Amino acid sequence: MIYKTLGETGLEVSILSFGASSLGGVFHDFDLNKGLKAVYTAIDLGINLIDVSPYYGFYKAEENLGKALKEIDRSKYYLSTKVGRYGQDGKKEWDYSGHRAIESVHESMERLNVDFIDLINVHDIEFANKEQVINETLPALWDLVDSGIVGSVGITGLPVPLLKEITEEAEDGMIETVLNFCHYCLNDDALSDDIDFYKSKQIGIINASPLSMGLLSERGAPEWHPASKEIKEACQKAANHCKSKDYRIEQLAVKYAVDHPEIATTLISTTNPENIKKNVEWALAPQNEELLAEVLEILKPVHRLTWENS
């Protein structure tokens, strides 16, 4: 495994990280024992950052991940979770108040069976009031850093410009990491525009969803995917082209994502241990540069076309 420094957090993270959203049944039903084995397999192969949220599966992901973490030496992984997005009885909830943020961290630690969170994030800032995030949520999380139960503080979200905007307006040092998804992958590299900005502020970058939530897969995007028909068709065309060359677009996409020198780590999520093994193998193998150029050409008509979070 290859490791990189995550900004100034002091965390040396693997270039692939484990996204535990799948342990909440976010994408489809799964076998819990197999899902727990996926976590163990990730750790065994050198993946050392695990990311989760109370929102994933409405607390189920944290509960299930906690079952796995009871069996893993705490020194073998860094743990990242979030505040701000929740839900119950099938209904989504948002609360970015400082009081709820502090309460949420303690609840997460109980579900996860830990007494320390390495990285706490404000989850999906596009749903929050910007001023509240800057003046209330972030300071509350820093209180937890001061109390010794949290290591570092970050923000997450889909819109690339908003992540930068909040980082610019927040006091220097308040935001140590940014996590963005679906914007450094084969069909959309918009995150790359701001990498020099984050580097200048010594902020660590976490990239998520190198397959763009299933768009960049042989199976194709799931029905619920918010991308337009145009994006889905272009990505399927690219996947079919790879298949015609006896190559999986997933391998091309994972390697593309981890290859950026200034992105510390890329999150992948699966409950299948074999998929973990494949992703690690793909991340460490050489890139197929010729095929990469062909696929990028196919995806040009939809380059950087995106969608709103929900």
Question: Phi and psi (nearest 5°) for 296?
Answer: -60, -35
Helix (H, G, I), strand (E, B) or coil at 186: coil
**237-279 pLDDT, tens digit each:** 999 999 999 999 999 999 999 999 999 999 999 999 999 999 9
pLDDT above 70 as % of the chain: 99
Domains and CATH numbers, the chain: 3-302 (3.20.20.100)
> Is 96 assigned a catalytic role?
no
Helix (H, G, I), strand (E, B) or coil at 169: helix
Residue 175: its pLDDT value, please?
98
Which pLDDT tens digit goes with each residue over 121-158? Answer: 999 999 999 999 999 999 999 999 999 999 999 999 99
Cβ-count burial of 33 within 10 angstroms (0-12 exposed, 13-18 middle, 19+ buried)? exposed
**Residue 261 CB partners (closer than 8 Å, separation 6+):** none
pTM: 0.96
Quick: pLDDT tens for 172-217: 999 999 999 999 999 999 999 999 999 999 999 999 999 999 999 9
At residue 46, φ and ψ (nearest 5 deg) are: 100, 0
Query: Which residues face 154 on adjacent strands?
Result: 121, 177
Tokens at 9, concatenated: 């957090």
C-alpha–C-alpha distance, residues 203 and 7, integer Å = 5
Q: Which of 40, 55, 56, 78 is catalytic?
A: 56
